[in-house]
Amino acid sequence: MLLPLWDKTGKMGTVIAMKETQTASLDGILVIDKPAGMTSHDVIATLRRKYRQKKFGHTGTLDPDASGVLVILAGKAAKCLQFLPDTDKEYIAELALGSETDTDDASGTVVRTAPVNRDFSLDQELKKFEGPLHQQVPTTSAKKIAGRKLMDYQRKGQEVPAVYTDVTIYDTEVLDEDDLRFRVSCSSGTYIRALCRDLARATGNCGHMKSLRRTRAGGFTLEQAEPLDADCHTIHPIERVLETIPAADSAQVDLSDIRNGRHIRLNTPDDRVLVLDSDGHALAVYDRDHGDVFACARGLW
């Protein structure tokens, strides 16, 4: 298998060949173009087999029917998950009218049908959803209430409680009026299948999400995403997903203290800092403990 190397500036270096039987730690970020029909966990399982290591995680689940950008944290990068901000996302979706499903997408069971009304402007209707939105979560989702996932209520034939979440739709754009295909830019946590359900209802229809492709997530775009079955994958540096955390002044830090997880003193207004080594590689995240004393929140070595 082939793995790209990165130099200390974060630029991609040469590509070297690795024997399939060779064991090596893969540390960094992969951006995968998830195929439709696979769960996010399926993607992780595939990468574990391909690279023969267990430490993989992802920054946000993508529904099985959906495709597109899935940001994967490998090796040491998996330690960064708790520090990643809820980043905005972008999708291309297609709406189907005439039937509503119990999952709000094409994989669900039809629960309601109605004649199709096309006497509306998709652009005008989409604009009504822009801005802050109090969105009802799909009944088939991992969202929890009273410690139970909503999908667990549904699977047992129990009444699913109505759960709402506050999200923001930043921008929408109609890509094909006839096919009801559109682009949406939104905050993390937005359910596009719920948006399709509510959009259909707002036009006097019932409907569901026909297809979904995520085009941006975690600061990465679809152009950077690579096929899951590629012979090799680009490894982005860990620092790429930690760039929102201010870097500590290395002149104030004894790196031996960092590597041993000791408390340090810093003169900074920031309550959370990223400590880098002399080559610019992430060593640890530190949080203010009291005064100018900082405690290690997570070592990244």
Query: What residues are labeled active site?
Result: 63
Residue 207: its H or E element? strand 207-217
Q: Is 162 helix (H, G, I), strand (E, B) or coil?
A: coil
How far apart, in Å, are the Cα atoms of 64 and each of 34, 103, 107, 110, 228? 9, 12, 9, 18, 14
CB 297 within 8 A of CB 283: no
Q: State the amino acid at position 183 in one-letter form.
A: R
Residue 151: its H or E element? helix 150-155
Using CA atoms, how far apart are residues 198 and 192, in angstroms rounded to an integer? 10
CB 104 within 8 A of CB 197: yes
Among the listed residues 3, 10, 76, the one whose alpha carbon sits nearest the alpha carbon of residue 240: 10
Distance between terminal CA atoms of the chain? 25
How far apart, in Å, are the Cα atoms of 121 and each of 93, 169, 173, 179, 193? 16, 18, 12, 13, 19
CB 171 within 8 A of CB 62: no
Residues in contact with 223: Cβ distance below 8 Å, sequence separation at least 6, in sequence order: none
Residues in contact with 195: Cβ distance below 8 Å, sequence separation at least 6, in sequence order: 93, 129, 135, 169, 184
How far apart, in Å, are the Cα atoms of 195 and each of 60, 103, 126? 18, 12, 9
DSSP line for 208-229:
EEEEEEEEEETTEEGGG-EETT
